[in-house]
Structure 1
Amino acid sequence: MFFSSDHPKHEFEESQQCKSRDAICYLCKNKVSLVEDESNAFYCCQGCGSNFHKDCLTVTYPKCHEHTLTFIRRKIPFPCDVCGQEFPDEMYGCLQCDFFVNRHCIYLPRVIKITRHSHRLSHVLRISDGDNVCGICRSLVDVGYGGYSCIDKTCNYVAHFHCIIRFNVWDGKDVEGEEVAASEADDVAPLLLVEDIDGESTWRHFSHDHDLLRVVEEQESEELCQACILPTYKTGKFLRCKECDFALHETCACLPRKMAHGLHVHPVTLHVETGDGFFICSVCNQYSCGLMSYKCNQKDCGFKMDVRCASFVEPFNHTALPHDPFYLGVDFNEYIYRCYGCRQRSRFTARCVQGSIDFDFKCLNLPGLIKYKCDDHPLTLYYDHRGHNSGWCEICEEIIEKGRIIYTCRHCFTTLHVDCILGKYPYLKCGHKIKVNGFEVEIASNNGASRPICQTCHRICQDKHVFNGKDQVCFCSVECIPSQACS
């Protein structure tokens, strides 16, 4: 017979008195065995009829506490000494030490590594005084309770227990006693200096076979960076091939071959795309013709990230809200967040803590300045967090909804929808051939005097890009391109 430590009415009899064939353990929610032997014994509460595994009623786990912990069932909630949260039906206690802990905190790992931070984190029962802002949810961590703290004594990074467990930021491994993995160590540089003669440097990037020269060009051109598919002009220094039209932003060329990025729980590696000529970024859900992408190192994980999303570093200053830094949001592994800029749902967002504004990575990666043929000034990315009316779009001539992220001219008060000026596929480049389900098409600009008709949906192609197949067939979108079997 076993007695609960808080109330005499919770008296537990052994399994011989529990005849239910569908008995479920109240704590672990697993079925209890009806085989009557000591290794499978379970208990039944006479007061409420709940069933319990024998090993669930008492827990011995020295990593959490040196004494045996006993299940305590009280109607009045009280905080867990480890995390500070209240779990009235899942608390264990050591009356000898006046120590109480909820079931989830008993088996917390001692040392972990999350991709949101460069160092490992250690399980501590008391957070020390200092900068006590959780690195995941950006709210305060109570110094009277425990959490995860950086093992580097010069670093003040801390995180809540429940943030580590609840949100998709940890790979589930306890790395206590393990050596630092290769993915956590410094990696080979992607850009190497070949020679430097009279101040003119020649470089070699792992993604290209020819030598590259560092160039500074401020005049407008149509040259695109092969990694991010954005213009090379007005972006500082970039690298241009001596023998062909290959070009890379210097920032794109210096991205590490391997990294642990907060957007994914596993380390990722920079790969050269060799498939169908384009890919879909798992973060921003955008099509890209970029030469390189970051792929997860895990064999069965299909995560793939373009270099624009991989360039996100906390705190991030967005052009539309330059005075309010953004931090990575939390991930519930579901599309539950709605972007304030485009009103679309997304798993991956960044949050402006001051204004509680969430932007998805499609809006975060938008260029800050663009050129519009009907305006002499560059248009600036703008977001009105007060939700005032933003006017009407001069391209589609429709009203722009309140609180949308837009492009505007501060001199002429021109306003444009983002999709109207950039198009549906801003990172697909004209003249590039791609394969969709085995069907090859060429991406072309849709700026002619007349607009073609889509072969599949029979509508006028209105986007900035069209997809030309064999025999002069044309498609308005990637979704309209048939498979090879249907062509």
Structure 2
Amino acid sequence: MFVWEDDLYYSCTTCDVEFHKDCYSEPKKLIHPYHLQHPLDLIDGKNEAESSKCTWCGSNPTRYYYRCSICSFCLDIYCSYKFPSLTITNPKSHHHLLSLFPRPLLVPCDACGSINRSDPSYACFQCNYMVHVSCINLPRVIKLTRHHHRLSHTPYLSPSSYSCRVCHKNVDDKYGQYSCNQETCSYVAHSKCASHKEVWDGRELEWEPEEPDNSENVAPFKKIGDSLIEHFCHEHHLRLEKYKDLGDDDQEDKQCHACVLPIDSRDFYNCTQCGFSLHEVCANLPRELDHALHKHKLFLDTSPQEVYDDMSCSVCQQRFSGFRYKCKDKNCLLSDIFRIHVGCISLPDYFTHKSHGHPLCFPILELRHKEKIICKVCKKHCSLSHLQCSTTCEFDLCYRCATFPSEVRYKHDKHPLSLCYGEETSDGNKYWCDICEKELDSTEWFYTCDKCCVTIHLDCIFGSSIYMKPGFTFRYISFKVKVLRNNSNTRLICDGCEHRCSAHVYYEVHWYRYEFVSCSLECLEQRINGCLGKIRKRKLSL
């Protein structure tokens, strides 16, 4: 026996034959429930002139597989590990005994309406009822964060035109689906979509009492006077104020402490004693909510996150310094804590974006229409969450681009800049960015003022740190990092890329004898990792 890459295997010392430890123990002959009428022989595909496909799942087997010498029935190693029971008594999904159907089910399952030939199936021949083994124990009553009512599994729906509210595809009313318990509600979801591990929290609620709605007991603030509130996140009283004009320098620098976007044109709450500010809409953020982006209830966390690794949004992957919603479920706490910033939580799971003619939806990762997702706007890979067209369009949008504000203020223009979603054709005119003074592609997204002919790149108006607030301090490993406003007439030189800091913020580090400035978080990471590398080399040389 030998070891290779932590895997035990057997090797013949005479000829060139090797076996994994598990494969070596496979029987040479097998009687399997999928093919009870004939025995199956273990075949070495290396000695076969033609490759065979697994009769059960349709995939091409690895080197070793089982085959019937009488009828050429083929079963790959992975399918041979499945030994389902021949009968199931008292199944959850049906009132009669179910018998194993020893063939791939090539018709829709009566419990979910889908076809999956690799999933073993059972049948009730008395009722002509066919069901996947994975659908036999589907929960009868569940609750999803995508809907405010409970859902019940029903064997069929009343004839009508239905759309699944999870994947937004058509629902066949002849088969089992989940529907809302409320008679006046038309919410429907496919059985597989509603019970998916990314959508459902795994709790069966058939015998559980309804939980009371405590939303009124967790209001974010209470009114204490005319336009005056006491918000749970701040120790002072906040007063509702009207946005005046950019002529006020103090107001120009104001940013909302929740979403970290500027206080530009909307009413806002201002602290009566310090510089704390909140957009009116951000002050009304609920302290707890359900959202389609996560299967557990989320809770509003307003405390400063001072550790760099805790500042990343689980949805858009951007670092941020504002408020966040976090999951407190013990299973999430044991793995990777789910946290999402205010910008991403504000987007519903199904809506029409101004950049596209069809509604966009948030897909289940395992059910995405393709493996590698590229954002239509920034052309970057959507590593985790994204939005896709609910029709057959090849349109995908990352959450970073989807949350760009439709209007922004620019200090050198008295008008608000509007987000242009790209011009279909170029008329020959060249556009130039007012910040970097480089040419701008008019077919891509950019900010513009039609009255003043101002055009600006998205990255130039925001930089790579759109959600980092000046004055915020955090810790990267043992380095203390300050976020500073970049509003001086002379822009500093980044000690990383050696370009001028052009974004609205820059980062300053003081750590023992190390002092440097970074224009972005990317340069900050590279610079700090470089410092740590020098320290390690110095220690090794001692």
Is 1:66 aligned to 2:95, yes or no? yes
Gaps of at least 5 residues in structure 2 are: 1-30, 43-55, 58-67, 536-542
Q: Distance in 2 between matches of 1:146 and 1:400?
A: 53
Is 1:296 aligned to 2:343, yes or no? no
Which SS does the other structure have where 1:56 is aligned? coil
Contact kept, 8 Å, 2:91 with 2:137, in 1: the verdict is no
Q: Which amino acid aligns with 2:460?
A: C
Partner in structure 2 of residue 311 of structure 1: 346
Q: Distance in 2 between matches of 1:126 and 1:137?
A: 19
Say if 1:333 and 1:78 are closer, same or farther in 2 by CA, change over 3 A. Answer: closer
- Give the deviation of 1:429 after TM superposition: 2.1
- Give the deviation of 1:58 after TM superposition: 2.4
Say if 1:234 and 1:108 are closer, same or farther in 2 by CA, change over 3 A. Answer: same
Q: Which amino acid aligns with 2:445?
A: I
- Give the deviation of 1:167 after TM superposition: 6.8
Give the RMSD, CA atoms, in angstroms: 3.7
Q: Which amino acid aligns with 2:482?
A: E
TM-score, with normalisation over the residues of structure 1? Answer: 0.81
Q: Distance in 2 between matches of 1:445 and 1:122?
A: 53
TM-score, with normalisation over the residues of structure 2? Answer: 0.73
Contact kept, 8 Å, 1:187 with 1:257, in 2: the verdict is no
Partner in structure 1 of residue 36 of structure 2: 11
After alignment, is 425-434 or 449-458 more displaced?
Answer: 449-458
Q: Distance in 2 between matches of 1:351 and 1:272?
A: 30
Q: Which amino acid aligns with 1:348?
A: S
Contact kept, 8 Å, 2:463 with 2:502, in 1: the verdict is no
Contact kept, 8 Å, 2:154 with 2:179, in 1: the verdict is yes
Gaps of at least 5 residues in structure 1 are: 21-25, 28-43
- Give the deviation of 1:295 after TM superposition: 0.8
Partner in structure 2 of residue 191 of structure 1: 220
Q: Which amino acid aligns with 1:331?
A: L
Superposed, which structure 2 residues align to 1:80-479 within 5 Å? 80-89=109-118, 90-130=120-160, 132-165=162-195, 168-181=198-211, 185-186=214-215, 188-196=217-225, 200-220=226-246, 221=251, 222-235=253-266, 237-276=267-306, 279-290=311-322, 292-298=323-329, 299-300=333-334, 301-313=336-348, 315-320=350-355, 325-332=359-366, 336-346=372-382, 347-353=384-390, 356=393, 357-373=395-411, 375-384=413-422, 392-394=431-433, 395-400=435-440, 404-411=444-451, 413-470=453-510, 473-479=516-522
- Give the deviation of 1:93 after TM superposition: 1.2
Say if 1:52 and 1:207 are closer, same or farther in 2 by CA, change over 3 A. Answer: closer
Measured against aligned partners, the alpha-carbon deviations of 1:382-430 in whole angstroms (never above 9, x if no partner) come to: 2248586995442445555575332233345543321112111111122
Q: Which amino acid aligns with 2:409?
A: K
Which SS does the other structure have where 2:162 is aligned? coil
- Give the deviation of 1:208 after TM superposition: 0.5
Contact kept, 8 Å, 2:307 with 2:476, in 1: the verdict is no
Contact kept, 8 Å, 2:484 with 2:506, in 1: the verdict is yes
Partner in structure 2 of residue 77 of structure 1: 106
Contact kept, 8 Å, 1:134 with 1:158, in 2: the verdict is yes
Say if 1:241 and 1:317 are closer, same or farther in 2 by CA, change over 3 A. Answer: farther
Say if 1:358 and 1:203 are closer, same or farther in 2 by CA, change over 3 A. Answer: same
Which SS does the other structure have where 1:287 is aligned? coil
Higher helix share: 2
- Give the deviation of 1:116 after TM superposition: 1.2
- Give the deviation of 1:162 after TM superposition: 2.5
Q: Which amino acid aligns with 1:358?
A: D
Q: Distance in 2 between matches of 1:338 and 1:253?
A: 34
Q: Distance in 1 between matches of 2:141 and 2:522?
A: 46
- Give the deviation of 1:18 after TM superposition: 8.4
- Give the deviation of 1:99 after TM superposition: 0.9
Which SS does the other structure have where 1:104 is aligned? helix
- Give the deviation of 1:289 after TM superposition: 1.8
Contact kept, 8 Å, 1:189 with 1:254, in 2: the verdict is no
Q: Which amino acid aligns with 1:328?
A: F
Q: Which amino acid aligns with 1:405?
A: W
Say if 1:324 and 1:410 are closer, same or farther in 2 by CA, change over 3 A. Answer: farther
Q: Distance in 1 between matches of 2:481 and 2:367?
A: 34
Which SS does the other structure have where 1:381 is aligned? strand
Q: Distance in 1 between matches of 2:466 and 2:83?
A: 60
Say if 1:84 and 1:309 are closer, same or farther in 2 by CA, change over 3 A. Answer: same
